[in-house]
Homo-oligomer: A and B are copies of this chain.
Amino acid sequence: MSVSSSESSAPASPLTHFDAQGQAHMVDVSAKPATHRSATAEGWIRMLPATLALIAGGQAKKGDVLGIARIAAIQGAKRTAELIPLCHPLPLTRVAAQFELDSAGSRVRCEVTAETVGPTGVEMEALTAVQVALLTIYDMCKAADRGMVIEQVRLLEKLGGKSGHYRAD
């Protein structure tokens, strides 16, 4: 959509979470059909090379940081509507999280796909899951490396619903 044109030609705010008086509400989706929706988000946590080595070591044997972050991501996705004030509660039908170690960049990438059959999209669930996964990695490695940075968290793709297919550049 074109933000500038909607601003000039229409009185309605593009911020749909506010009503005509500018007050927040949980948007009415009662009349929207329950359809299949999917969203994929990604994010990174950058760290010292030695910290990345600790995580890499845990994959093969003990100290499975990424296995725990994966569970935290899935559990976090289910709590999205409790955390984000105007989010609709949604019955998630799938959540999957993947991690990649980027040695060159000394960082870990997390990608989460969430799905539902419902009247609204699941991008907040996918994004929340990514954030909880990255925070969990921070928590588990912070004794070794307090300077880790979470970065480039964004929506990659969104399928289903009236707004159609979105794909990040």
This chain's copy number in the assembly: 6
| A13 interface contact, C-beta 8 A | yes
Q: Mark A65-94, 1 if CB is under 8 A from B, else 0.
A: 101101110111111011111111111111
CA–CA, A79 and B21, complex, Å: 26
On whether the beta carbons of B75 and A85 are closer than 8 Å, the reply is yes
A100 within 8 A of B: no
User: Of the candidates B51, B64, B118, B166, which one forms a contact with A91 in the assembled complex, judged by CB atoms under 8 Å apart?
Assistant: B118
Give the complex CA separation of A19 and B74 in angstroms: 14
Choose among B63, B91, B96, B136 the residue that contacts A84 (Cβ–Cβ < 8 A). Answer: B136
A151 to B127 CA separation, bound complex (whole angstroms) = 13
Instruction: Find A19's partner among B64, B96, B146 (CB 8 Å cutoff).
Output: B96
Q: Which residues of A contact B (CB under 8 A)?
A: 1, 3-4, 6-7, 13-19, 21-31, 36, 38, 43, 48, 50-51, 54, 58, 61-65, 67-68, 70-72, 74-79, 81-98, 115-119, 123-124, 127-128, 131-132, 135-136, 138-155, 158, 166, 168-169
Smallest beta-carbon distance A18→chain B, Å: 4
Cβ-neighbour of A74 out of B25, B124, B153 (below 8 A): B25
Q: Is the CB of A86 within 8 A of B127?
A: no
A78 → B minimal CB distance (Å): 6
Q: Report the bound CA distance from A88 to B1 in whole Å.
A: 34
Q: Is the CB of A91 within 8 A of B89?
A: yes
Cα A156 to Cα B54 in complex, Å, equals: 23
Asked if A86 contacts B139 (CB within 8 A), the reply is: yes
